[in-house]
Amino acid sequence: MVPKSEIRFIRLNLITIVVTLVLILAGGVVRSTGSGMGCPDWPKCFDQYVPPTSVDQLPKDYKEKYVASRVAKNERFAKLLDKMGKTDVADSIRHDLSITVPESFNAAKTWTEYVNRLTGAITGFLLLGLTVMSFMYKGKAKRIIVLSLVNLIVVGFQAWLGSIVVSTNLLAWVVTLHTLLALVILAILVYTYYYASRLYKQDMVIISKVIWLKVLVLLAIILSVMQITLGTEVREAIDALSKHLLYQHRDSWVGQIGNVFSYHRDLAVLVVVINVFVYQFVMDKFGGKATELRLGNSIVLVLVIQIASGLLLSNFALPPFAQVIHLVFSTVLFTLQFYLYLLVNRTNTYRQ
């Protein structure tokens, strides 16, 4: 029987997973609406905990003030990169003139970014609570404690990286790293949820071997991470092109960003094929098992949504709502695949 304290941990873990996905949703809204610089400073917004709603509430000479602050922070970041041997990257940050261009105040964008940060703060507190609660597993499942502590450290680094995203005016590779770290946080949360919820359950035993299913699910996870990375690069290329074209001729952007979109589109076909094979294996091996079957069905549903939103993006001038859907459900797909892999990996067979 699972102790009540551990049931509370499992529930909080699940809630944190959902809130983390909501945070990614909020980040997608920020990206699709161009609200990333809605708050030019961090962690406050225009030096306030509750952001302004009109220009007359802003500090005097706010544009010059925040540009100077941004340049100073970027110089510190560039020095760190110098110490890491990334001199070329550091110099590119120092000579990026876009960083010195002040952002005009836009109340809608400011509050969009503020909600994103507020969601991030809630996620951070939930992760802190999970870490504190994880110590109940001392002597029983130390990996839950270790992983919870690691996740807290990763979240702290992610928060710092978020400040760099703002100070560098959405520097491309920093945004990509920010996205990939979100996947790391999710993966750790999914694992601790899985391990804690299965602690008192026996391993599943089925008739036939599942080695090929394990390989396919692992391959599907790797391809999903590659797709998310390529998708981020597509978005970065779109951002650069849209600025160059002064945000005009939106319907031509996809056709002008080069091979990165073609790679993203072609890899999507492989992602669909591999996941179809995964679904077929799940149906064959676990047709009578509710959890695995639900995961398989959910993966198919998410793939359909991904295909539909991808077609909307490529054929209908990148509608913002489709951008948000595409980003969020790519992360949901990764989450479902990783949880399926954990379940399959713990499955034993009668046949040796």
Round the average pLDDT of the chain to a whole number and report it.
86
- pLDDT band at residue 185 under the 50/70/90 scheme: very high
Instruction: Kindly indicate the confidence band of residue 153, based on its pLDDT and cuts at 50, 70 and 90.
Output: very high
Give residue-wise pLDDT tens across range 188-206: 999 999 999 988 776 655 5
Report residue 285's pLDDT band, with 50, 70 and 90 as the boundaries. confident
What is the average per-residue pLDDT within 158-180? 78
Kindly report, residue by residue over 138-147, the tens digit of the pLDDT.
988 899 999 9
Confidence label for 129 from pLDDT (cuts 50, 70 and 90): very high
CA–CA dist 106, 104 (Å, integer): 6
Residue 350 predicted with pLDDT over 60: no
How far apart CA 226 and CA 235 sit, in angstroms, is: 14
Averaged over 245-260, what is the pLDDT?
A: 83
Mean pLDDT of 111-120: 90
- Average pLDDT of 240-254? 80
Residue 349's pLDDT band (cuts 50, 70, 90): low
pLDDT one-digit tens code per residue, 50-107 = 888 888 888 777 888 888 887 888 888 888 888 888 888 888 888 877 777 777 788 8
Residue 293 pLDDT: 84
**Predicted pLDDT at 352:** 44
- Average pLDDT (334-339) is 96
Please tell me the pTM assigned to this model: 0.87
Q: What is the per-residue pLDDT across 306-326, written as a single tens digit (0 to 9) for each?
A: 999 999 998 888 888 898 999
Q: Which domains, ranges and CATH numbers included, belong to the chain?
A: 1-201 (no CATH), 203-352 (1.20.120)
